[in-house]
Amino acid sequence: MLTDDDEPIDPSYAMDYIVDIMNLLYTIEKKYPIHSSFISNPSLNIITIANGSASRSSWKLTAKHRLIVVGWIIQLFYARFHLSQDAMHLCIGLFDRFLQQCITSTNGNNGFVTQKNLQLIAVATFLIAAKVEETHHPPVDELVYVTDHTYTSDQVKRMEKIILHELRFELNRPTSLQFLRRYSFISSASDEQHAIGKFLIDMSLLDVSCIDLLPSLIAASATYIARYILNENQPSTFEQCWPHDLQIRSPYKTLQSLSNGIQMLARCINNYLSGNSSKEYEILVKRYDNEQLLKVSSYCIQQRTLIHKLANESLE
C-alpha cells in the first residue's frame, strides 16, 4: 500500500483522500484485466440463425479489425463530436472488455461478436462512455447517422443493454489518463511533459500489444518516456526520468518494474516513426501537432533517435 505523509493539503485535489483513492484505483485495474489473447484467437465459431435453423460460420477477429474500429472511435471523439479524452479512453476500454468477455465466455455469448456487429458494439460503448463522462451525450439518432444508417436506434439501444449486462454494469475500470494526471502532479510536470504523456497514452490505444499492460503502467511508461526525451543532458538516469517522489508514491519502485511498459510503448511510437504503422495513427499525430497541444507529436518525431533507443536497447 502507498503512503503519502508529505502530501500538501489542497481541498481541490482531495488530498485528504488521495492515498485511499489511488490504492482503490490500483486494486480495481487488477480486478478487470484485459489480455490481447482474445484477439489472436485463431477462429471464432459463430452461430447464426437463418430461416429458422442454425448454421455455423467461422470468422477471425484480428488486430487489424480492432485497429480500424478503434481508429474510427478516436475520430468520432476528437474530430466529429469533440468529446473528452476521458470518455474516449473509457469507451475503448469498455469495447475491449466486452469483446474479451464475449469471446472467452463459455456461455455461448460469442455470438454477439461478428464482423457486422463490430461497429455496432463501438457505437454502443461510445454511448455508454459519453453518458458516464459527459454532461450531454450525442443523440442516438446522430450515432446512427455516423454509421451511415447501418443500424437502427433500437439496435444501438439493444446492444447498449447487452454490453451493460455482460459487464454487470461494472464500468469503473480506471484509465491510463487518470494515472497520468496523478504522475504529472507528483513530478511537477511541465506542460510539455504532460502533453507528451497524453499523446503517448492515446497512441497506445491503437496498439494491440499495449492491451496487456495495466493502465497505471502505461501512464508510468508515458511519464518516463516524456521525461527521457525532454532531458537535454543525455544519457538520462532512472532518477531523472522517474524521480524519487514517483518511486515512493506509486507501485513502480525500480526500472525493472517499468521496463516492459517503457519498451512496449516506445516500440509503438517507434513503429509509427519507422513507417510501419497504419493510417489510423495519423489522426492522433495530426491532433497533437497543434499549438494548443504544444506540437508534441512533432517533438516526438524530432526525438526519434532517443525513442528508438528505448524501444530496442535493454533497460535492465
CATH code of the domain containing 294: 1.10.472.10
Whether the Cβ atoms of residue 227 and residue 241 lie closer than 8 Å to each other: yes
Tell me the mean pLDDT in the region 272-299: 93
In this structure, the answer to whether residues 122 and 193 fall within a common structural domain is no
* Residue 26 forms part of a structural domain: no
Which pLDDT score, from 0 to 100, does residue 141 have?
96
In this structure, the answer to whether residues 124 and 209 fall within a common structural domain is no
In this structure, the answer to whether residues 162 and 226 fall within a common structural domain is no
Residue span of the structural domain in which 148 resides: 39-49+59-166
Which pLDDT score, from 0 to 100, does residue 2 have?
54
- Cell triple for 40: 489472436
Convert the pLDDT of each residue in 103-157 to its tens digit: 988 776 667 888 999 999 999 999 999 999 999 999 999 999 999 999 999 999 9
Which pLDDT score, from 0 to 100, does residue 12 have?
59
Task: Say how far apart CA 105 and CA 107 lie, in whole Å.
Answer: 5
CA atoms within 13 A on the CB side of 141: 0
SS3 state of residue 130: helix
In this structure, the answer to whether residues 186 and 65 fall within a common structural domain is no
Convert the pLDDT of each residue in 28-59 to its tens digit: 999 999 999 998 644 444 444 344 444 445 67
Task: Say how far apart CA 8 and CA 6 lie, in whole Å.
Answer: 6
* Residue 197 forms part of a structural domain: yes
Whether the Cβ atoms of residue 215 and residue 178 lie closer than 8 Å to each other: yes
State how far Cα 193 lies from the chain centre: 18
What is the torsion angle, in degrees rounded to the nearest 10, for the CA atoms of residue 104, residue 107, residue 111 and residue 114?
-10
* Residue 23 forms part of a structural domain: no
Position of cell 444501438? 156
In this structure, the answer to whether residues 180 and 300 fall within a common structural domain is yes
In this structure, the answer to whether residues 271 and 198 fall within a common structural domain is yes
Band (280; pLDDT cuts 50, 70, 90): very high
* Residue 21 forms part of a structural domain: no
Q: Domain count of the chain?
A: 2
In this structure, the answer to whether residues 181 and 152 fall within a common structural domain is no
- Is the backbone of residue 30 left (phi > 0), alpha (psi -120 to 50) or beta? alpha
In this structure, the answer to whether residues 186 and 303 fall within a common structural domain is yes
Tell the burial category of 311 from Cβ atoms under 10 Å away from its Cβ (0-12, 13-18, 19+). buried
Task: Say how far apart CA 15 and CA 7 lie, in whole Å.
Answer: 7
In this structure, the answer to whether residues 181 and 162 fall within a common structural domain is no
Residues 6+ apart with CB under 8 A from 54: 47, 48
Band (278; pLDDT cuts 50, 70, 90): confident
